[in-house]
Amino acid sequence: MDWLRDHLWETWLAVGIALALAELLSMDLFLLMLAGGALAGMGAAFLTDSVVVQVLVASAAALLLLAGVRPPLVRRLHGGPDLVLGPASLVGSRGIVTEAVAEHRPGRVKIGGESWLAVSAGAESGIEVGRTVEVVSIGGATAVVRPVSDPPAPPALPEAN
């Protein structure tokens, strides 16, 4: 116990390193915040010999890190776009009508290199072959599509003589 009192900053450093290494196993950022508190305790050990003050500083720093730093870090690291698999990943993509889609008769649309049975999403009388459509939803093996207004063609440049 005397060695610990004589080497307080080294003890705090060892605790901080041990907690940081243990964080590698948990990957939850909890132990890393405690390691930060231990490093704050090490800083306090340089300023005072009072173990009570060092423990209070380490505890306060760890609590501040846990409450202030960890939540945004966890949101940033674990958050992200949802992974959408299967036919649902086609919603919002565009395709080309290969067989006319009539009001009461499905047609065919090529979406992402695959041919899909397609019905119209709106009250259009039909969507002609070659028209660009957007996938609104997928129901089983049928794509619900709506026509997309094609962008206007760029104006022709005058020919230079």
> Residue 135: is it exposed, middle or buried by C-beta count within 10 angstroms (0-12/13-18/19+)?
buried
- List helix spans (H) across 27-144: 30-47, 51-64, 70-78
Fold of 87-147: OB fold (Dihydrolipoamide Acetyltransferase, E2P) (2.40.50)
Q: Is-contact 129 99, C-beta < 8 A?
A: yes
Q: CA–CA separation, 127 vs 136, rounded Å?
A: 15
pLDDT in tens, 26-62: 989 999 999 999 999 999 999 999 999 999 999 999 9
pLDDT in tens, 115-146: 999 998 876 678 889 999 999 999 888 999 98
Tell me the whole-structure pTM to 2 decimals: 0.52
For the chain, domain boundaries:
2-78, 87-147
